[in-house]
Amino acid sequence: MNRTRDRVLIAVLMPFVLILTACGVNSIPTAEENAKAKWADVQNYYQRRSDLIPNLVATVRAAAAQERTVLREVTEARASATRVTVAPEQLTDPAAMSRYAEAQQRLTLSLQRLQEAYPELHTNQNYLELQSQIEGTENRIATARHDYNGAVQAYNTEIRTFPSVIGARIIYGSQPMVPYQADEAAQRAPSVADAFGNNQ
């Protein structure tokens, strides 16, 4: 008797279970959570850019400052060495010869320091690395925004199509998500002159 009643109960409830399954009971939250996860990726890459770029800029500035210091010392030593001259009549003056030798030695030491520091003086390489890191970060952001928009499209389609629309309205009260959209300024191609402050 109980088995028969259980079978009847299952037979009566089965259509309701199928209807609920068909109404997006699982697919709507799955699509919503996927879109939220994709948005978290967008925020993650924006944070990566926020963390990365200042550190890279500081590294490039430090390398450029070191390079400027070494090159300035070489330039100053060269200028000093060219200012100290020995005329033919001074070739017998030990003080004049000493001053000349000291000036030339300062230039020699500066050039040696430049040669020793050269492997570390990669300002151009650092700028190229900075440019590469920025480009990579921007590409990751663009990809994450694209993936987010795809997830939003899938979610919005899910909650607006039959039979999930029934579950979306009755069970979840789902609202469409907003895709990422570029701001008005992004609609215009950037100008190289504008990037350098030359508004022409």
- Using one digit for the tens of pLDDT, what is the confidence trace for 108-130? 777 667 666 655 555 567 667 77
Output the average pLDDT for the chain: 75
Cβ contacts of residue 113 below 8 Å, gap of 6+?
70, 73, 74
| Tokens of residue 6, six digits | 């259980």
Peptide bond into 163 cis (omega under 30): yes
Evaluate whether 114 touches 70 at the Cβ level (below 8 Å): yes
DSSP letter at 155 equals H
Q: Is the pLDDT of residue 174 over 90?
A: no
**Mean per-residue pLDDT for 29-55?**
85
Peptide bond into 176 cis (omega under 30): no
Cβ partners under 8 Å of residue 84, min gap 6: 99, 100, 102, 103
Helices (H), 84-122: 94-117
The Cα–Cα gap between 59 and 57 comes to: 5
> Are residues 171 and 32 in contact, defined by beta-carbon separation less than 8 angstroms?
no
Q: Is the pLDDT of residue 199 over 60?
A: no
CA–CA separation, 156 vs 152, rounded Å? Answer: 6
What residue segments make up the domains of the chain, in order of their start?
19-195
Q: Is 134 exposed, middle or buried (0-12, 13-18, 19+ CB in 10 A)?
A: middle
CA separation for the pair 145, 180 (Å, rounded): 7
The answer for 13, left when phi > 0, alpha when psi is -120 to 50, beta otherwise, is alpha
For residue 2, the model assigns a pLDDT of 74
pTM: 0.58
The C-alpha atoms of residue 180 and residue 143 are separated, in whole angstroms, by 12
More confident residue, 116 or 172: 172
Region label for 173, one of left (φ > 0), alpha (ψ between -120 and 50) or beta (otherwise): left
Contacts of 138 (CB under 8 A, 6+ apart): 49
pLDDT at 124: 64
